[in-house]
Structure 1
Amino acid sequence: MRKLLVTGAAAAAVASGVLMAPPAEAAGAVQIYRVYYDSPGSDRGSNKSLNGEWVQLFNTSRSSKSMKGVKVRDKTGYTYTFGSFTLKGRKSVYIHTGKGSNTATHRYWGRKWYVWNNTGDTAYLLYPNGRVADKCSWGRTGSSKYC
C-alpha cells in the first residue's frame, strides 16, 4: 500500500477539512500582454490606421487553449468575440480593430472606427460566461501599454 505524505499548507487544509480548488485554467494561461491604443499617424479612420490599433493576447501555457466565446471589451462596451479559434501554447494573437483576413496570429474586429481611447481606457479579457479573466488600463500618455 502506498502512503501519501502531505506537508505544509496542504496538510493544514486536509486537517481542517478544507479542500483547495485548482485555479481556473484560463486565468493564468491567456492574458492581455499589450494594447496599442494610439495607432501611428492621424486618426482619420483608414483601415491601415484602424489596424494599427490592437490588443495582443499571450498564452503563457505550453498547451493550446480554446478561445471560443472569449471576449475582448473596452470600457464603453465595444466587444470582440472569438469564434472557433485555438491559441497555441506560448503564442500570441493580435486582435486588430479594422478589417482583414484572420490567421493563427492576427484576428480582425471589422470595425469602421476606433475602439481604444487615446486619453485612457481599459481592455478587458472576459470568459464566455462574462467573468473578467484579465484587464489592462492606461491613461493619457504614450501610445501603447504593456500589461
Structure 2
Amino acid sequence: MNKIRVTKSFNFETAHALYGYDGKCKNIHGHSYKLFVTVKGTPIQDNSNPKFGMVIDFGDIKKVVKAQVVDQFDHAILLNENSPHKTLGDQLIAEGHKVIFTSYQPSCENMLLDMVDLIRPHLDASVELHSLRLHETETSYAEWIAEDNK
C-alpha cells in the first residue's frame, strides 16, 4: 500500500531567553513561530469509514497539536529553570503572566524535541510522526525527521 505524508501548519507567539548565550538572544525576546507537523500513513480503504481515503483527518492533527503545543506555548515565556531568569519568571507568574520553566535551553532545536515528545503519544496508532519543522523566523528553522532518530 502507498504511504502518504500529510502536513498541517500552526502559528503561535512565544518569548524566550537563551541562558549563557553570547549574543542578543540572552535577553528575553519573542518570535512568531510557525510549526509544520507531518505524519505518514496509508489512506483508509474501508469505504464505510467516514475517513475513507484519508491518512488522517486534518482536524485530528489540529486537536492534538493545539492541545499539546499551541495552547501551551502561545503567548508564554520559556525560561531555563536553572538560569538567573528564574527569579524574574517567578515574579511574572505571581503577576499573572504565562511562564514555562524548561529543564532545557529553550532554543528552537530543543523546543522542537520537546514538541516531538508532546505530540507523538497522542497520535492515532495508524499514523507515524514523520517530521516537525519549527520556523523561529521566516528564514530560520529547525527540523526533526523520524528516520534520522531511529
TM-score, L = length of structure 1:
0.29
The structure having more radius of gyration, on CA atoms, is 1
TM-score, L = length of structure 2:
0.29
Whichever structure has more helix as a proportion of its residues is: 2
